[in-house]
Amino acid sequence: MRKPNPFDTENVRQLANLLAETDLTEIEVQKGDLRVRVVRNLTVPVAAIAPAVASAPMAATAPAASAASPSPEASSAASRKQNTVTSPMVGTAYRRPAPEARPFVEIGSSVKEGERILLIEAMKTFNEITATRSGTVSEILVEDGQPVEFGEPLMVIE
Partner 1 sequence: MFDKILIANRGEIALRVLRACKELGIATVAVHSTADSDAMHVRLADESVCIGPPPARDSYLNIPSLLAACEITGADAVHPGYGFLSENARFADILAEHDIGFIGPKADHIRLMGDKIEAKRTAKKLGIPVVPGSDGGVTDEAEARRLASAIGYPVLIKAAAGGGGRGMKVARSEAELMNAVQTAKSEAKAAFGDDAVYLEKFLEKPRHIEIQVLGDGRGDAICLGERDCSLQRRHQKVWEEGPSPALNEGQRAQVLDTVRRAMCELQYLGAGTVEFLYENNAFYFIEMNTRIQVEHPVTEMITGIDLVNEQIRIAAGGDLPVRQDEVRLMGHAIECRVNAENPATFRPSPGRIDYYHPPGGLGVRVDSAVYQGYSIPPNYDSLIGKLIVHGRTRNECLMRLRRALDEFVVAGIDTTLPLFRALVRNGDVQNGDYDIHWLEHFLENPETIEALA
Residues found near partner 1 in the complex (CB under 8 A): 51-54, 56-61, 89-92, 122-123, 147-152
The CA distance from 52 to 106, in Å, is 26
Q: How many CB atoms lie within 10 A of CB 48?
A: 13
Q: What's the min distance (Å) between Cβ of 68 and partner 1? A: 21
Q: How much of the chain is helix, strand and coil, in % rounded to 5?
A: 20, 30, 50
**Pick from 136, 155, 2, 1: which is nearest to 86 by CA?**
155
Q: Which is nearer to partner 1, 128 or 158 (CB)?
A: 128
Q: Considering beta carbons, is residue 30 or 125 the nearer one to partner 1?
A: 125
In angstroms, the CA 83 to CA 131 distance is 10
Instruction: Give the shortest CB-55-to-partner 1 separation in angstroms.
Output: 9
In the complex, the smallest distance separating the C-beta of residue 56 from partner 1, rounded to whole angstroms, is: 6
Cα separation, 127 vs 135, whole angstroms = 22
Q: Please say which residue, 66 or 69, places its beta carbon nearer to partner 1.
A: 66
Cβ(12)–Cβ(38) below 8 Å: yes
| Smaller CB separation from partner 1, 16 or 36 | 16
Q: How far is the CB of 147 from partner 1 (least distance, A)?
A: 4
